[in-house]
């Protein structure tokens, strides 16, 4: 019998402008492995309800469609993978509630993302605390073995694994233990205007110069890179680069696939201006086909709807079987 392929699950929130960090940290990994794994990729719109910043005039559903269109434009093959919207599949918030009854509060209150985000707000919605349980549900419903994400999500995936372990030891082997899959390059792209801070979707929309959108036009890309904060010197040294130049080199590396040695040969001793203009050329070349395909998929519309409807049905089918098992194990099923 053929061996079962590894299953991958991941998702992105429709809560701002998708940037090159989302591409190198998440999307690029999904596309590279899509024919060797059994992939399920979700637009996590219920998670996005926890962010209050009004980053766009668009409705959540329009932003969700845009994110799904971007998945396809980046090269996800809808015949090979499942693509769907989280809010269309009831099993996700349902399992999340069940997990709420099982997981100690302390496991949630020690999450770094909760601590940071709650410290930035006066009024903290409960959903900010239980966010990782909805994320664990996303993953555990589908028996995902691997979760391809950027570095910032490692703690949440490890929590999902701990939850699965705890549940299994109490109720039997119900869940597969997932593990994070963090890429070698581009798993943590920093802001171009502040290279010690992570590039973020909401800030990318609000402040020019912070991030580069995956579908930014060439002149916007050139403008942002020209203004990017560098180090205090004037010529590149790959080995001893400070945070600004290190970030530009990391982006170059993630998009070109070159090694540190190749980067050294290409850039050592060259001026910062050369690095910036070569990086601009590289990003414009790599992102142009994605941008064109994105606009085509959105304009065409009906194909995207078909993909999402088919994805919804398949996701419902797989995940409702898992919910039935969970309810049986809890002796709550008739
Ligand atoms: P989010 O923007 O928080 O919805 O994240 C979506 C995916 O992109 C997750 O897998 C994140 O880990 C990844 N990601 C977000 N920001 C970055 C970044 N600056 N560098 C690399 N990966 C990122
Ligand atoms: N919390 C993730 C982020 O902000 C998004 C997410 C939700 C996710 N559910 C997921 C990522 C399941 C991987 C798997 O990036």
Q: What is the pLDDT of residues 151-164, one digit of tens each?
A: 999 999 999 999 99
Average pLDDT over residues 303-315: 98
Mean pLDDT of the chain: 95
- The b/e string for 292-307 (b: 16+ C-beta within 10 A; e otherwise) is ebbeebbeeeeebeeb
pLDDT at position 2 is: 63
CB of 13 closer than 6 angstroms to any ligand 2 atom: yes
Radius of gyration over alpha carbons of the chain, in Å? 21
pLDDT at position 1 is: 55
* Structure token digits, residue 258: 């070159």
Given ligand 2 and candidates 30, 135, 151, 180, which is best to mutate, with the most ligand atoms within 8 Å of its CB?
135
Average pLDDT over residues 104-110: 97
CB of 128 closer than 6 angstroms to any ligand 2 atom: no
Distance (angstroms) between ligand 2 centre and the Cα of 228 equals 28
Q: Closest ligand 1 atom to the C-alpha of 150?
A: 12
User: Residue whose CA is closest, atom 2 of ligand 2?
Assistant: 12
Q: At what angle do helices 302-329 and 60-73 cross, to 10 degrees?
A: 100
Strand 38-43 vs strand 7-12: parallel, antiparallel, or unpaired?
parallel
242-270 tens-digit pLDDT: 999 999 999 999 999 999 999 999 999 99
Distance (angstroms) between ligand 1 centre and the Cα of 194 equals 17
CA angle (237 as vertex; 234, 240 as ends), nearest 5: 110
Average pLDDT over residues 288-297: 97
> Which ligand ends up closest to the CA of 41?
2
User: Residue whose CA is closest, atom 6 of ligand 2?
Assistant: 11
Catalytic residues: 117, 198, 201
> Which ligand ends up closest to the CA of 19?
1
Rounded-to-5 percentages of helix, strand, coil across the chain: 55, 10, 35
| Count of other CB atoms within 10 angstroms of residue 142 | 22
Average pLDDT over residues 284-307: 97
**Contact present, 40 and 140 (Cβ < 8 Å):** no
The yes-or-no verdict on residue 146 having pLDDT over 70 is yes
- The b/e string for 111-124 (b: 16+ C-beta within 10 A; e otherwise) is beebeebeeeeeee
Rounded Cα distance between 18 and 70, Å, is 9
pLDDT at position 53 is: 65
pLDDT at position 206 is: 73
C-alpha of 203 from chain center: 16
**Contact present, 180 and 331 (Cβ < 8 Å):** no
Higher pLDDT, 49 or 203: 49
Task: Name the pTM for this structure.
Answer: 0.95
pLDDT at position 35 is: 94
Among 41-50, 56-65, 103-112, 122-131, the least confident range: 56-65
Q: Give how far Cα 301 sits from Cα of 58, 69, 172, Å.
A: 17, 9, 44
pLDDT at position 79 is: 96
Distance (angstroms) between ligand 1 centre and the Cα of 18 equals 9
32-86 tens-digit pLDDT: 999 999 999 999 999 999 986 665 688 889 999 999 999 999 999 999 999 999 9
**pLDDT above 90 as % of the chain:** 89
Average pLDDT over residues 187-215: 91
Give the 3-state secondary structure of residue 317: helix
**pLDDT above 70 as % of the chain:** 98
Among 14-18, 179-183, 196-200, 317-321, the least confident range: 14-18
Tell how many helices (H) and how many strands (E) occur in the chain: 15, 5
């Amino acid at each position: 019998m053929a061996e079962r392929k590894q299953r991958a699950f991941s998702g992105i929130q429709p809560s701002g402008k998708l940037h090159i960090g989302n591409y190198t940290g998440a999307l690029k990994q999904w596309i590279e492995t899509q024919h060797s794994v059994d992939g399920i990729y979700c637009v996590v719109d219920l998670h996005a309800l926890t962010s209050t910043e009004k980053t766009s005039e668009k409705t959540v559903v329009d932003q969700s469609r845009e994110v799904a269109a971007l998945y396809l434009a980046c090269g996800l093959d809808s015949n090979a993978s499942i693509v769907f919207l989280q809010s269309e599949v009831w099993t996700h918030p349902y399992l999340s509630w069940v997990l709420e009854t099982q997981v100690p509060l302390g496991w949630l209150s020690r999450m770094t993302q909760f601590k940071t985000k709650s410290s930035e707000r006066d009024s903290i919605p409960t959903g900010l605390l239980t966010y990782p349980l909805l994320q664990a549900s996303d993953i555990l419903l589908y028996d995902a073995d691997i979760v391809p994400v950027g570095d910032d999500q490692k703690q949440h995936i490890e929590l999902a694994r701990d939850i699965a372990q705890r549940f299994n030891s109490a109720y039997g082997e119900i869940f597969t233990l997932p593990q994070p899959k963090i890429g070698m390059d581009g798993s943590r792209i920093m802001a171009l205007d502040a290279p010690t801070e992570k590039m973020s979707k909401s800030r990318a929309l609000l402040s020019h110069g912070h991030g580069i959108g995956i579908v930014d036009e060439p002149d916007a890309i050139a403008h942002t890179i020209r203004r990017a904060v560098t180090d205090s010197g004037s010529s590149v040294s790959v080995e001893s680069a400070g945070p600004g130049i290190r970030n530009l080199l990391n982006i170059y590396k993630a998009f070109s696939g070159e090694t540190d040695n190749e980067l050294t040969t290409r850039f050592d001793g060259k001026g910062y201006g050369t690095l910036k203009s070569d990086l601009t050329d590289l990003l414009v070349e790599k992102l142009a086909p994605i941008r064109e395909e994105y606009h085509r998929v959105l304009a065409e519309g009906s194909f995207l709807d078909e993909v999402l409807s088919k994805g919804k049905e398949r996701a419902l089918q797989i995940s409702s079987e898992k919910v039935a098992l969970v309810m049986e194990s809890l002796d709550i099923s008739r």
